[in-house]
Amino acid sequence: MRIVVVDPPSDVAFALQRGRAEIVSATRSTGAPLAFTFSVRARTGGPRPGVTLLGPFAQGPPDKRFVYVGSGTFAGDAASCWSRRAKVSLAGITADLVRSVATQPDVCLEATIPGRAGDGGPSCATVPLLRGWEIGRLHD
């Protein structure tokens, strides 16, 4: 999977959150889009219909999974004035999308989110997906 953060504020650290607090792939923004790639496992069937996404990046209850993209102190920059996390919903990922990426080694599920909140700082809280979850090429 890949999350692309567009228009992030410059000179702010961004990172994925794995588990409760582990910081992964921390990078400082230059204002250009940032991309975070990570893996999840998908399970179909079981006690609930649809797809259940599993693994250390998938946060929340099975029917409301999400991934955190932290910024500022949540990305490991202790000196930052920002302490924010963008909550990226995994809703909308269907069994058909999972099957499509599972059969092609050069693609992933991709979502694009805004990197900037209304106050000009890094995005936080539940962020909108700019195009929903779609199939993206791994080596673009």
Question: For 96, which DSSP code?
Answer: H
Six token digits for residue 8: 């992030």
Quote the percentage of the chain above a pLDDT of 90: 82
Single out the residue of 35, 41, 122 nearest to residue 74, CA to CA. 122
Mean pLDDT, the chain, whole residue set: 94
Over the stretch 25-79, which tens digit does the pLDDT of each residue have? Answer: 999 999 999 999 999 999 887 766 778 999 999 999 988 999 999 999 999 999 9
pLDDT at 102: 87
Is pLDDT of 92 > 60?
yes
Strands (E) across 1-140 are located at 2-6, 13-18, 22-28, 34-37, 41-44, 51-54, 66-72, 83-89, 107-114, 125-126, 134-137
Distance CA 84, CA 35 (A): 18
Q: How many helices (H) and strands (E) does the chain have?
A: 1, 11
Q: What's the pLDDT at 104?
A: 87
- State the Cα torsion 68-49-61-2 to the nearest 10°: -10
pLDDT of the residue at 139: 76
62/34 Cα distance (integer angstroms): 27
pTM: 0.94
